[in-house]
Chains A and B, each alone.
Chain A
Amino acid sequence: MFIYEKKLQYPVKIKNTNPALAKIIISQYGGPHGEIGASLRYLSQRYSMPYPELKAILTDIGTEELAHLEMVGTIVYQLTRDLTPQQIQEAGFDTYFVDHTAGVYPVAASGTPFNANTFAVTGDTIADLHEDLSAEQKARLTYDNILRFADDPDVRDPIKFLRAREIVHFQRFGEGLRILTDKLDSKNFYAFNPSFDK
């Protein structure tokens, strides 16, 4: 089960409204490399994980991604406080505003709503863990691209925290992959799928 804790994993306190930046950052809320996809990917993959270390790391990282989802939602929310009609138009935020006003909806920066097609649950331990390593890199590069556009230090600070977490998660998944391969047939990792074949 899950228990909510009434605080953010890392503080977000943004003074200046900036809908143009919110429009980009929302991609990490509902985009192809975003936090909701990350959380659903890991929390769904864990059912077919064969070893305790792998069940644990997917559960814990999948849980932390929910805390990151809340942080990204908070950044978008705070960047869109007290909007004026002029700000909305100048920032090109009108195409989002018409459907969602200043609500936070899981959508990519390009306008595509969140879709589970952005991730996979293959039931194959090797394939799933490689997907997870790749997912952490894709989230990292998206934060790197966000940092190209964000010059407000109030925004850069929590984004840098989130970027650093992707790197830590990549490391933990790499260790998970090694734990897995140590238990497989060293002459042929693909001889059997430990998630399915007994």
Chain B
Amino acid sequence: MQFAMWELHLFLDTHPNNCDAARKLEEYRSRAEALRKEYEEKFGPLNETSRETSRWAWIRDPWPWEREAN
């Protein structure tokens, strides 16, 4: 979902007038928020804007380059 949003975001850089892509991005954006919340509840905060502000939650293993994270 986040990847699809990123792809639309890049497309809109060079096609800022494309309404279909902008609409699709808006639709994904509204769905992504809930998914992000679900992910963070399971795996911990994604960055410092996350709801979970515990220092331990942020520094907790695994980090993205570790096999266990993927």
Is there contact, CB below 8 Å, between B14 and A60? no
| Interface contact A12-B63, CB-CB below 8 Å | no
A56–B10 Cα distance when bound, in Å, is 8
Q: Given the complex, which residues of A lie within 8 Å of B7, measured CB to CB?
A: 168
B19 within 8 A of A: no
A3 touches B14 (CB 8 A): no
Binding site for A on B (CB under 8 A): 3, 6-7, 9-11, 13-16, 44-49, 58, 63-65, 67, 69-70
Contact sample, A vs B, 24 pairs, CB 8 Å cutoff: A3-B47, A3-B48, A3-B49, A4-B47, A5-B47, A6-B44, A7-B69, A8-B65, A8-B69, A13-B70, A14-B67, A15-B67, A53-B13, A53-B14, A57-B10, A60-B13, A64-B10, A70-B64, A73-B65, A74-B65, A78-B67, A81-B67, A172-B14, A179-B14
| 16 new A-B contacts at CB < 8 Å, known A11-B70, A56-B13 | A3-B48, A3-B49, A5-B46, A6-B46, A12-B70, A14-B67, A53-B13, A60-B13, A61-B10, A64-B6, A70-B65, A74-B64, A81-B67, A168-B7, A172-B11, A175-B14
Could you tell me the distance between the alpha carbons of A4 and B64 in the complex, rounded to whole angstroms?
A: 11
Within 8 A of B (CB), among A144-193: 168, 172, 175-176, 179
Task: Specify which chain B residues have a CB less than 8 angstroms from the CB of A4 in the assembled complex.
Answer: 47
A44 at the interface (CB under 8 A from B): no
Chain B residues whose C-beta falls within 8 Å of the C-beta of A13 in the assembled complex: 67, 70
Cα A4 to Cα B47 in complex, Å, equals 6
Q: By the criterion of a CB under 8 Å from any partner CB, how many residues of chain A are at the interface?
A: 30
Give the complex CA separation of A75 and B14 in angstroms.
31
Across the interface, name the chain A residue whose C-beta is closest to B45: A6
Residues from chain A with Cβ under 8 Å of B63 in the complex: 6
| Min CB gap B24→A, angstroms | 16
| A176, closest chain B residue (CB) | B14
Contact between chains at B65 and A7 (CB < 8 Å)? no
A97 at the interface (CB under 8 A from B): no
Q: Which residues of B contact A168 (CB under 8 A)?
A: 7, 10
